[in-house]
Amino acid sequence: MSSIKEFQHLKIPLQDLIAATNNFGDTNFIARGGFGKVYRGELVRSDGLTMVAVKRLDSALGQGAPEFWKEVMLLSRYKHENLVSLLGFCDEGGENILVYEYLANKSLDLYLSGHDLSWIQRLRICIGAAHGLQFLHHPAEGSQERVLHCDIKSANILLDQNWKPKISDFGLSKFGPANQQYSYLFSNAVGTMGYCDPLYIETGFLTKESDIYSFGVVLFEVLCGRHCVQNYEDIRRFLARFARKCYEEKKLDAIIHTSLIEEISPHCLERFSTIAYQCLQTDRSERPSIATIVKELEIALQYQVEYDFEKEKKLKQHVVIDFDSDKYWETKLPRDLEVIVKMFKIPHAIYAVKKELFAYLQKGLLYDEGNKFFWINDYGKKCVLLSARIFLNCDLTTWIFQRDLRYILYVIVCSFPPRRALSSQEKRMFIY
């Protein structure tokens, strides 16, 4: 394969990968896929030690050299923030190994049914993945090829430490002409059961709309908190079919992940579920383009952001505390300090949840973006510091107070926090 020569700058010696992965040891193993096992490792590169994911081909699983070189070629040419980055490869000693950037949070499928991801995080992951797919379907201007991924699924959407999504696993991908509205390729159907376009399976005709169908399944996985195929003996077995039925019967509440129901804005849910449903249409012409999906998901996100903002605002306006419960306690500023309170716009009441916080409050804490220092003394009294500028320039050991001063309120009004904590002796001087 003469074209392989253009990728030689990406070649990594086998011995380096053996050292990086502890000889592909069990302690470095992180995942297994259709290509083979994946290992974590630290690879020495020109810019120092780099954490990498090393994918080692196991030909017994069905993929081989063609899929290996296709991934090398595709990822070395197509680069996008929502596509996984290929760092190099190895094809020596009978091995075919791909080396990628290491993504700390692994794959989306691991989080579908859990509570680690909030709804807004899930929504942003879907938007990022949609941007990656849009880049594949509509590459940079001047390119005559579009990439059909052919295996879009939650397990192939990887997440970095900041939960940014990156599409991976291009071994089954195919190239089609980019200058046509509909690009048809005829091939034996490939992909994963439950995600694969039924029309593609039936006819063997592959189009970019086949990826759209798979992405619609992922959207419903994210919403419902379950994988696309589960061990049921009825319609619930395949999520795509079950989700379509629930959407048409207006019974989505029955399948939405229980931890998400209270989080989702009604307008956001309507927009999100509608575009996901359209992706699963049997007729290819009725499926939306990836550009439309991106637009609709971003509108859904805007609805959610506005909903969360209004929800938080209402909570601040209507704080309801059960004072009969020993989980809560209340502190109030003295009435004779009302003028000072208004001057510095300090709330009339400061609420703290859970008595366990008392120990922390005795040590003191910064609040109001670091501009105020607050602590509770041993008698449960609240204490607030003076202006930090005055505090730092005064001699605390010779400070004289009027004996009839009943309360002292210390407020930080400058732009920097205290440079040191008060000593026990100094605190006793300020307690009222």
Amino acid letter, residue 152? I
Q: Is the Cβ–Cβ distance between 412 and 398 less than 8 Å?
A: no
SS3 354: coil
Q: Is the Cβ–Cβ distance between 192 and 154 less than 8 Å?
A: no
SS3 149: coil
Q: CA gyration radius for the chain?
A: 29
Q: Is the Cβ–Cβ distance between 63 and 34 less than 8 Å?
A: yes
Could you say which of 91, 151, 169, 197 is catalytic? 151
Task: For residue 192, count other CB atoms closer than 10 A to its CB.
Answer: 18
Q: Is the Cβ–Cβ distance between 99 and 17 less than 8 Å?
A: yes
Which residue in this structure is represented by tokens 């804005």? 265
**199-208 exposure pattern, b = at least 16 Cβ within 10 A, e = fewer:** bbeeeebbbb
Q: Is the Cβ–Cβ distance between 184 and 262 less than 8 Å?
A: no
For the chain, percent helix, then strand, then coil, each to nearest 5?
A: 40, 20, 40
Residue 20 CA to residue 23 CA, distance in Å, equals 8
Residue 239 CA to residue 364 CA, distance in Å, equals 52
Give the side-chain half-sphere CA count within 13 A for 139. Answer: 21
* Residue 160 appears among annotated catalytic residues: no
SS3 62: coil
With 0-12 / 13-18 / 19 or more C-beta atoms within 10 angstroms meaning exposed / middle / buried, residue 363 is exposed
Catalytic residue positions, numbered: 151
